[in-house]
Amino acid sequence: MSVEGKFLSKEINDLFWREGLTLVTAESCTAGSVSAAITAVAGSSHFFKGGIIAYSNEIKENLLGVNHETLETYGAVSEETVVEMVKGAMKSMNSDCAVATSGIAGPTGGTPDKPVGTIWIAAGCKNKVITLKLEGDEGRNKNIANATQNALQLLRKLFQNEENER
């Protein structure tokens, strides 16, 4: 993990401790790297409950409650799917907040509409969910690292938006 990633993980740890909220992950293309980044900081067990690596649509549907119609209509790599992944993760793991990733890390699997490097991320707390789309192929490892970093940044942004609304 980069130095910036470590600082970001520490900041997220501090935010969740301060707010007294719980967090879970629902990861597809990042395959647990977001969870690993969060738990790299001591004390994360106070707020981090766990995660589901939902590589297949079957797991997205059965464990996270993503609607089959959503997957058929929009695909696994879509804003609609990651929003449902966040909501389903919060519900199935009884958590206040969640972050979800789904994308095409590569080097294969892309299509003209969704090329390699297309990754959707969602972060949510209670009834609020925000999303981010990444595009651009920098190679599998870099795509996963970028998605992980952006997932942490999106979590931080979620808290910043809530603080600004208070």
Residue 84: give its domain's CATH number: 3.90.950.20
Establish whether the linkage from the previous residue to 107 is cis, with ω within 30° of 0: yes
Residues with Cβ within 8 Å of residue 83, at least 6 apart in sequence: 122, 124, 129, 131
Sheet holding 48-53, edge to edge: 48-53, 23-27, 97-103, 119-125, 128-134
- Domain count within the chain: 1
Tell me if 166 is assigned to some domain.
no
pLDDT digits (tens, 9 = 90+) for 9-31: 999 999 999 999 999 999 999 99
Distance CA 152, CA 100 (A): 10
Tell me if 68 is assigned to some domain.
yes
Share of the chain above pLDDT 70, in %: 95
Distance CA 53, CA 101 (A): 10
Predicted model pTM? 0.95
Q: Is the pLDDT of residue 166 over 80?
A: no
Which residues are paired to 27 by β-bridges?
53, 101
CA dihedral sign of residues 146, 151, 153, 154? positive
pLDDT digits (tens, 9 = 90+) for 98-148: 999 999 999 999 999 999 999 999 999 999 999 999 999 999 999 999 999
Q: Is 40 exposed, middle or buried (0-12, 13-18, 19+ CB in 10 A)?
A: middle
What's the mean pLDDT in 61-85?
Answer: 98
Tell me if 31 is assigned to some domain.
yes
How many residues does this entry show for the chain?
Answer: 166
User: Containing domain of residue 11, as a range?
Assistant: 3-161
DSSP H or E stretch at residue 48: strand 48-53
